[in-house]
Amino acid sequence: MKLNEVKDNEGALKSRKRVGRGIGSGTGKTGGRGVKGQKARSGVAINGFEGGQMPIYRRLPKRGFTNIFAADYVIVSLGRVQQAVDAGKLDVSKTVDAAALKAAGVIRRIKDGVRLLSDGELTAKISFEVSGVSKPAVEKVEKAGGSVKILGEAAAAE
């Protein structure tokens, strides 16, 4: 195969429709735009315009805000941790923290820390160091013989 022989598959590229080229073409005269009115002209931008009626985005009230200081935790379930242990990706003899979970492929990125939730079952005895944890998750970890240590500001809040 040579570079000058490379071409698209048959039908991969459609030729564009040339509108407004005489009434005999079938797409001439108004060029598929209908007749008269604002939309038949060029330079029309009327998204959200409701014919002079107060548009819905102005009728509805503004509510709430986005807290730019809110911590964005990565949520990890106990069931997902147990899967990683069963697959041999997590070493239960060491403390499991955000870096260990990332290395095991349980989470993609650490963000502001890891929050542990109680979905699924945990049978392995694991000691966790996480930024946040739910009460049922703590109970399940301790029932399995493990422990949970909460890091940083979350420890002061709870």
Are 54 and 97 members of one domain?
A: no
Are 59 and 78 members of one domain?
A: no
**Residue 79 falls within a domain, yes or no?**
yes
**Residue 9 falls within a domain, yes or no?**
no
Tokens 């703590």 sit at which residue?
138
Percentage of the chain lying above the pLDDT 70 cut: 96
pLDDT tens track for 33-58: 999 998 899 888 889 888 899 999 99
Question: Taking the C-alpha atoms of 63, 65, 71 and 75 in order, what is their torsion angle to the nearest 10 degrees?
Answer: 40
| Dist CA 75 CA 137 (whole Å) | 12
Are 59 and 28 members of one domain?
A: yes
**Residue 101 falls within a domain, yes or no?**
yes
Are 78 and 57 members of one domain?
A: no
Question: Taking the C-alpha atoms of 133, 139, 140 and 145 in order, what is their torsion angle to the nearest 10 degrees?
Answer: 110
For residue 140, count CB atoms less than 10 angstroms from its CB and return exposed for 0-12, middle for 13-18, buried for 19 or more. buried
Q: Where are the alpha helices (DSSP H) in the chain?
A: 56-59, 78-86, 98-104, 135-143, 152-157
SS3 per-residue string spanning 95-138:
CECHHHHHHHCCCCCCCCCEEEECCCCCCCCCEEEECEECHHHH
Domain span holding position 79: 74-157
**Residue 1 falls within a domain, yes or no?**
no
Are 30 and 92 members of one domain?
A: no
CA distances from 82 to 17, 24, 36, 63, 143 (A): 58, 71, 67, 41, 14
Are 87 and 56 members of one domain?
A: no
Are 95 and 33 members of one domain?
A: no
Are 58 and 91 members of one domain?
A: no
**Statement: the pTM of the whole predicted model exceeds 0.75:** no
Are 101 and 30 members of one domain?
A: no
| Domains in the chain, number | 2
Q: Which of 46, 64, 82 is the last residue of a domain?
A: 64
The CATH number for 90's domain is 3.100.10.10
pLDDT tens track for 55-94: 999 999 999 999 999 999 999 999 999 999 999 999 889 9
- Tokens at residue 9, please? 């598959």
**Residue 13 falls within a domain, yes or no?**
no
Are 60 and 90 members of one domain?
A: no
- Inform me whether the pLDDT recorded for 154 exceeds 50: no
The answer to whether the CB of 133 falls within 8 A of the CB of 148 is yes
Are 93 and 144 members of one domain?
A: yes
